[in-house]
Structure 1
Amino acid sequence: MITGWVIYKEEDKKRNETFISWMQEAASRRGMILEVVTYESLAVTLSGREAMFPGRPKPDFLVVRTCTPWLNEAAEMRGIRVFNCSKVSRIANDKRLSHAYMNCLGIPMLPSTAAHRKSLHYMSPSYPFILKDPFGRGGTGVEWIARPQQLNRTLKDELLMQPVGGQRGRDVRVYVVGGKIAGSILRESQTDFKANISGGANAVFYELSDADKAVVHTITASLKLDFAGLDFLLDEEDGLLFNEMEDAVGCRSLYMNSSVDIADVFMEHVFSELV
């Protein structure tokens, strides 16, 4: 029997218990076992010839939902199939890398600059502008900078800098499973320039245009996306502007606004990759 682990950090496991159970049920319907393992409980052998996970049977696959690319890559070195692969995890979990990669593909985006916090005092940016923590998720670590005095506040050392752009408080999340579009959600906030569901934004199912699908296809043709979210701002003509990629993407808004059972879709992809 095919046995895999889905890995969460302890605090995220508690918030995702329902989604985890849906994945486990979907795996079971295909004759697979999906065990939940917390990141904090793992001891990983990196030297010698011992088992990678001492005291535990070697899993056939890993679903890593912890935004820790090193674990994806270390497991791949031991011959374990990982969803997503380490390349995707590295690119998705560092906004600087994701923007650099998408730029090479010709994907539309706002002008983006990687900068150290100290370098901001030697630059002459046009206010207002946006500063982002490259490793932030779910809208965390995103600052609207309207005046120089705000640069004295506590900021991360490593930053992504962008001008204010796109339609304020509106973005589109495209869910991709096995390189195919599984569904898309439009998120809108009336009170914030960010459109995160956790921040109170509204969400509705969104039909992508042919031009939108072409943008997504350019990305999926280059990157092997097992299960990811592609987030886009909207320009004034509703065209897509790449914003970020979520490796451990949240799916609550998709379940609330569509009939797509993405846990089942994902487990079907996992099964097809392993048999």
Structure 2
Amino acid sequence: MAQPTCWIVYNGNLPQKKFMDFAEWTARAAEKKGITPSIIKNNELLVSFTNGKSSISGRYENSSPDFVIFGDKDVFLAKQLEKLGIPVYNSADSIEICDNKSRMYQTLADHGIPFPKTIIAPKVFGDLHDYSHYPAIVKEIGFPMVIKEAFGSFGMQVHLAENEQRLLELMRTLKNTEYVFQEMVGSSYGRDVRINIVDGKAVACMLRRSESDFRANVSFGGKTEPYTPTEEQVQLAAACAEVTGTAFAGVDLLFGPDGSPLVCEINSNAHIRSIYECTGIDVALPMMDFILDDLKRRGSVHE
């Protein structure tokens, strides 16, 4: 019987090595599990509409894999692959939930999952002219305040407002960008926990700590160390994966003032090199095991 085949999709417009690194890392794991991978740029798969019908055109229009590992956030491409009957991991809807922080926090709130006090910035068209919502936000959240752009990764679109002047400056600069206002959790300043969840189970965990930034991200100088999570942290991370529909996810947790964990965010496209370098655990291997088991349940592959 032929080996299962998979496409590993990454964003062709992102030149940084860490994006290609994820694709290459998961490709090696696929090969170890007897899967034949192809690494494909998202711009080699074009979502096309002709005579009222949708299809994939471009370089790979006449081929189809057994499944796709979607290491990108091109949601409409992921949706189109699903429309063609190809299993996509993670699903388009789960990627969309995690990619948009406003939708992510609404989803978490719908299921009673704890996270810092958050307000979604009102929709703005063009420049910001009406600041009438500003006093209510300051009264509700106070300073310092975290401003998170709805779309962003590696902490690069997360800002800190220490006072009113900085907050107003950020609001003017962001204008019609979607973002949220969020409470700063002082008890977790510069540190968080990353738990990688696969099929509802914690497979790897690390503590991230920064001595120089309120963000613990490695991209901003955060250091990592292996960490044994509490049962409460594991259950919370697993619940996040469940409610967002992610088969596998990197869940970032904060340390609340009373010691209880709070959700920072959920990553549906979590990069896995840093947690491997920290813990020695290759998260891609259990990811492949889950996918093969899921395909068997679907009847897509056989023993």
Normalising by structure 2, we get a TM-score of: 0.83
Matched residue, 2:169? 152
Aligned position for 1:214 = 235
Distance 1:50 1:210 in 2: 46
Counterparts of 2:131 and 2:225 in 1: how far apart (Å)?
38
Shift of 1:55: 4.8
User: Mean Cα displacement is larger for which, 88-97 or 153-162?
Assistant: 153-162
Residue 123 (str. 1) matches residue 134 (str. 2): yes
Distance 2:32 2:183 in 1: 48
Q: Which runs of 4+ in 1 moved over 6 A?
A: none
CA spacing shift, 1:18–1:208, aligned 2, 3 Å: same
Q: What is the letter of the counterpart of residue 8 of structure 1?
A: Y
Higher mean displacement: 228-237 or 147-156: 147-156
Q: How does 1:1-275 map to 2 (within 5 A)?
A: 1-10=3-12, 11=14, 14-48=17-51, 51-56=55-60, 57-116=63-122, 118=128, 120=131, 122-124=133-135, 125=138, 126-150=142-166, 151-153=168-170, 154-155=173-174, 157=176, 158-165=178-185, 166-274=187-295, 275=301
Separation in 2 of the partners of 1:258 and 1:216?
18
Cα distance change of structure 1 residues 163 and 23 upon mapping to structure 2, 3 Å threshold: closer
User: Per-residue CA shift, 1:162-220, capped at 9, x if unaligned?
Assistant: 12114210111110122221111111111110000011101111111122222223334
Q: Distance in 1 between matches of 2:281 and 2:7?
A: 23
Unaligned runs of 5+ in 1: none
* 1:270 aligned counterpart, secondary structure: helix
How far apart are the structure 2 equivalents of 1:17 and 1:55?
Answer: 19
Corresponding letter in the other structure for 1:155 = L
Query: How many angstroms does 1:17 deviate by?
Result: 4.3
Residues 5, 36 of structure 2: 8 Å contact kept: yes
> How far apart are 1:86 and its partner, in Å?
1.6
Tell me which moved more, 144-153 or 58-67.
Answer: 144-153
Task: Give the distance between the partners of 1:132 and 1:177, measured in 2 at CA.
Answer: 26
CA-to-aligned-CA distance 1:2-36 (integer Å, 9 cap, x gap): 21111111335733445433322322233321100
Relative to structure 1, is the Cα distance of residues 179 and 155 closer, same or farther in structure 2, using a 3 angstrom cutoff? same
Q: Is the 8 A contact 1:233 1:242 kept in 2?
A: yes
Normalising by structure 1, report the TM-score: 0.91
- 1:51–1:58 CA contact under 8 A, matched in 2: no
**Residue aligned with 2:48, SS:** coil
Deviates further, 113-122 or 231-240: 113-122
Counterpart of 1:141, as a letter, is: Q
Contact persistence 1:4–1:33 (CA under 8 A): yes
Uncovered stretches (5+) of structure 2, i.e. residues with no partner: 296-300
Maintained 8 Å contact 2:46/2:77: no
1:91-142 CA-partner distances (Å, limit 9, x unpaired): 1001111111111221111111110463655321123211111101100111
CA RMSD of aligned residues (A): 2.1
Range that drifts further, 19-28 or 194-203: 19-28
Which amino acid is 2:162 matched to? Answer: A
